[in-house]
Amino acid sequence: MPNVDRLFRYGVSGGLSALTHFTVGLAGIGLGLPAVPASTAGFAASVAVSYLLQRTWVFRSGTAHTSTAPRFLAVTAAALALNTAVLWTGAELLGGPYPVVQAVALFLIPVVNYVLNSRWTFA
């Protein structure tokens, strides 16, 4: 049975991370960046928010940063690749609007992150 409290905390932290990602990405679009670089900047900004909240609040890990940080960054790299593929396909290749395409990516990324972080990064 899933830990409902942990899933709730993950949802809140993910929402804050996604808000960071989306806001910075929109700012990049406003500055004239193409969709993929704008979203990449937003993704990078959200990493610090996500790691801090997941390590201290969601998974309440006491494991050393020297163990959790590299694993978290590996999971983040996989999520970045997923985000980039979705953005490139949806916005660049198919010409979809950035907010819609980014929303699709922001739905997929938390699922992948939760599974990997709960079973490997902070286990």
For 49-87, write each residue's pLDDT tens digit. 899 999 999 999 999 999 999 999 999 999 889 999 999
Number of helices (H), then strands (E), belonging to the chain: the values are 4, 0
Closest CA to 25 of 36, 14, 13, 16: 36
Q: What value does the mean pLDDT take over residues 97-106?
A: 92
30: pLDDT strictly greater than 90: yes
24: pLDDT strictly greater than 80: yes
- pLDDT category, 1, cuts 50, 70, 90? low
Measured in whole angstroms, how far is the alpha carbon of residue 29 from the centre of its chain? 18
Give the pLDDT of residue 35. Answer: 94
The structure's pTM equals 0.70
Taking all residues of the chain, what is their mean pLDDT, rounded to a whole number? 93
pLDDT, one tens digit per residue, over 34-57 is: 999 999 899 888 888 899 999 999
Look up the domain containing 67 and give its range. 4-121
Say which residues have a Cβ less than 8 Å from residue 61's Cβ, sequence separation at least 6: 55, 68, 122
Number of domains in the chain: 1
**Token digits of residue 104:** 């699709």
Give the pLDDT of residue 2. Answer: 65
**Token digits of residue 102:** 């980014």
